[in-house]
Copies of this chain bind each other. A is one copy, B any other.
Amino acid sequence: MQRPSGRKPEQLRDVRITRHYTRHAEGSVLVEFGDTKVLCNASVEADIPRFLRGKGSGWITAEYGMLPRSTGSRMGREAARGKQGGRTVEIQRLIGRSLRAAVDLKLLGEHQITIDCDVIQADGGTRTASITGACVALVDALRYMQREKMIDTDPLKNMVAAISVGIYNGVPVLDLDYPEDSNADTDMNLVMAEDGGMIEVQGTAEGAPFTEQQFAEMLALGKAGINELIALQKQALAE
């Protein structure tokens, strides 16, 4: 089995994490997984959603979008069509849930952090790149809040990262790019915390169902990939 990119089954693409990418956001990260490039901007807001008011707890939410020509053929602009598609909604809910698991919302106080993940260029794995980059932007926003004395204690519990794993030509492979993703039998997205805790496991078989054995292999592959990503996040945050 040969991956189209020549990578080994357990090999991530080149991952680059660039902090302070734009100047207005409290956290701004460009994350690149090979040719997939996502801009993750974290905005700190004093307002929180109505259902949380007066409960002394904060909130983290995410929005996701693809630039119309981030893809091989141009997609209609969601703002022009007047609604977000089902895939967009599904992804931004996943990003929000994943990041909320990284933070002690009580320690956040009555603040909301909104993370915008906008795909500049897509080549597979935009949701896992988004989560991985968004977590770094989130940390920068939390540091900003501490510097500005909006919070006293660091609410971060755990770094969180995400990776995709799939079965391509019968072999479990890590971090699928678009040519692999569009031909894989099974696609699994894994979100894990720094301490090995599992936050989200989404395995999907549009084609043939997968066996428990395959599932276990994908999980192991993903876990190793997450560990690499968390090391890269920490390195970027140390700079």
A residues with a Cβ closer than 8 A to B are 22-25, 28, 35, 37, 39, 41, 43, 45, 63, 65, 67-74, 77-80, 82-84, 86-90, 92-93, 97, 100-101, 114, 116, 118, 120-122, 158, 188, 192-193, 195-212, 215, 219
Q: Please determine whether A120 and B39 come into contact, CB atoms closer than 8 angstroms.
A: yes
Q: A79-B65, A79-B78, A202-B201 are in contact. Are A24 and B71 (CB under 8 A)?
A: yes
Chain B residue numbers with a CB within 8 Å of A87 are 93
Q: Please determine whether B203 and A201 come into contact, CB atoms closer than 8 angstroms.
A: yes
Q: A198-B212, A200-B205, A208-B197 are in contact. Are A69 and B89 (CB under 8 A)?
A: no
Number of copies of this protein chain within its complex:
6
- A43 CB contact (under 8 Å) in B74, B79, B121, B197: B74
Question: Interface on chain A toward B: helix, strand, loop, or mixed SS?
Answer: mixed
Give, as a whole number of angstroms, the nearest-CB distance from A160 to chain B. Answer: 9
Report the nearest B residue to A41, measured CB to CB. B69
Q: Please determine whether B93 and A86 come into contact, CB atoms closer than 8 angstroms.
A: yes
Report the nearest B residue to A90, measured CB to CB. B90
Report the nearest B residue to A220, measured CB to CB. B212
Q: Please determine whether A41 and B63 come into contact, CB atoms closer than 8 angstroms.
A: no
Give, as a whole number of angstroms, the nearest-CB distance from A112 to chain B. Answer: 10
Chain B residue numbers with a CB within 8 Å of A122 are 24
Q: In the assembly, what is the distance between CA of A101 and CA of B201, in Å?
A: 19
Chain B residue numbers with a CB within 8 Å of A201 are 188, 201-203, 215
Q: A25-B69, A101-B209, A198-B212 are in contact. Are A84 and B90 (CB under 8 A)?
A: no
Q: In the assembly, what is the distance between CA of A68 and CA of B24, in Å?
A: 11
Q: A198-B211, A211-B198 are in contact. Are A83 and B77 (CB under 8 A)?
A: no
